[in-house]
């Protein structure tokens, strides 16, 4: 087993063991870790379309909000239990991605990014005008007094997303996605149905994102369009993935852990007014020095640290 595979197995084992922690943690730490699991799941989902396929989606938050509202509507209007409502949310999010994917994924580069961003903004405005969804005033969900429940559900979503990514990465489907990322025209010549592969990748990504959105809605007990269609979620998905290593199995989770740890530390200090500025500076510094993310250094050790390449990268950043 390669170093990356061993690292992925180790992280999954640690995550599985963390299921035993909630009874021994205070409420604040349960909340922090639940949020970490959620953001890691979102980053893992984004990695399938942005990392493996090379299509930088700025609209994955669309599926987070869709999953949240689908779950909320099913629980409120149809009185479905959470698990049925969550499954419904996953199906709706994946179906929406497949429907949007056929025309949108014909675009590339900046055009695709702008189109997905427009969809996210448009979806927020559309939902805010719909009476069944409470218009702009939002929706309220039942309260689950067992706050450990959401810790375990978010953890389960993260573990499933990592295992699914590992399976895809070693499958013919995963190789097809990487081929599309490297050279879509050459992939088509090799007989890869690029359109179908891209839509499938986005639908799987949306399903994971929708599951996280559904769980967030129940956890938060109240949702409104600005909360669940917040573009900051999408920015964090991208940053976490790039920080850990795009197109890797557990890079997004590693990036999420580091970014969450930095954010928690800075938030606990007296520099809270400068929290965003300091965090942004750290992110820029890391991205400049580690253009491929942290995974090559975690799996290759010092052998992956190329001083000459680092100098060239720094010179290029000054131009």
Q: How do the pLDDT tens digits run along the chain, 319 residues long? A: 666 678 889 999 999 999 999 999 998 899 999 999 999 999 999 999 999 999 999 999 999 999 999 999 999 999 999 999 999 999 999 999 999 999 999 999 899 999 999 999 999 999 999 988 988 889 999 998 888 999 999 999 999 999 999 999 999 999 999 999 999 999 999 999 999 999 999 999 999 999 999 999 999 999 999 999 999 999 999 999 999 999 999 999 999 999 888 877 776 655 556 666 776 777 777 777 777 888 887 877 645 555 555 556 556 655 5
**pLDDT score for 302:** 47
pTM for the model: 0.90
Three-state SS letters, the chain:
CCHHHHHHHHHHHHHHHHHHCHHHCCHHHHHHHHHHHHHHHHHHHHHHHHHHCCCCCCCCHHHHHHHHHHHHHHHHCCCCCHHHHHHHHHHHHHHHHHHHHHHHCCCCHHHHHHHHHHHHHHHHHHHCCCHHHCHHHCEECCCCCCCHHHHHHHHHHHHHHHHHHHHHHCCHHHHHHHHHHHCHHHHHHCCCCHHHHHHHHHHHHHHHHHHHHHHHHHHHCEECHHHHCCHHHHHHHHHHHHHHCCCCCCHHHHHHHHHHHHHHHHHHCCCHHHHHHHHHHHHHHHHHHCCCCCHHHHHHHHHHCCHHHHHHHHHHHHC
């Amino acid at each position: 087993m390669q170093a990356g595979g061993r690292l992925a197995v180790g992280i999954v084992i640690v995550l599985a063991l963390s299921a035993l922690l909630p009874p021994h943690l205070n409420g604040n730490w349960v909340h922090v870790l639940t949020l970490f699991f959620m953001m890691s799941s979102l980053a893992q989902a984004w990695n399938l379309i942005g990392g493996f396929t090379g299509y930088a989606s700025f609209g994955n938050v669309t599926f987070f909000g869709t999953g949240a509202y689908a779950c909320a509507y099913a629980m409120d209007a149809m009185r479905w239990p959470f698990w049925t409502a969550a499954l419904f949310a996953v199906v709706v999010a994946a179906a929406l991605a497949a429907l949007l994917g056929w025309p949108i994924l014909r675009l590339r580069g900046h055009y695709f990014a702008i189109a997905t961003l427009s969809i996210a903004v448009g979806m927020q405005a559309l939902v805010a005008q719909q009476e069944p969804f409470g218009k702009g005033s939002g929706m309220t969900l039942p309260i689950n007094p067992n706050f450990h429940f959401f810790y375990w559900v978010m953890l389960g979503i993260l573990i499933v997303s990592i295992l699914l990514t590992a399976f895809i990465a070693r499958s013919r489907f995963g190789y097809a996605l990487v081929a599309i990322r490297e050279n879509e025209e050459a992939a088509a010549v090799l007989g890869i149905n690029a359109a179908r592969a891209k839509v499938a990748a986005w639908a799987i990504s949306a399903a994971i994102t929708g599951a996280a959105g559904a769980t967030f809605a129940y956890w938060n007990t109240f949702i409104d369009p600005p909360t669940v269609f917040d573009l900051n979620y999408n920015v964090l998905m991208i940053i976490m993935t790039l920080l850990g290593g795009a197109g890797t199995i557990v890079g997004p989770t590693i990036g999420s852990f580091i970014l969450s740890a930095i954010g928690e530390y800075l938030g606990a200090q007296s520099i809270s007014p400068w929290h965003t500025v300091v965090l942004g500076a750290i992110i820029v510094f890391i991205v400049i020095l580690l253009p491929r993310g942290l995974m090559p250094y975690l799996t290759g050790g010092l052998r992956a640290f190329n001083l000459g390449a680092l100098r060239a990268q720094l010179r290029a950043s000054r131009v």
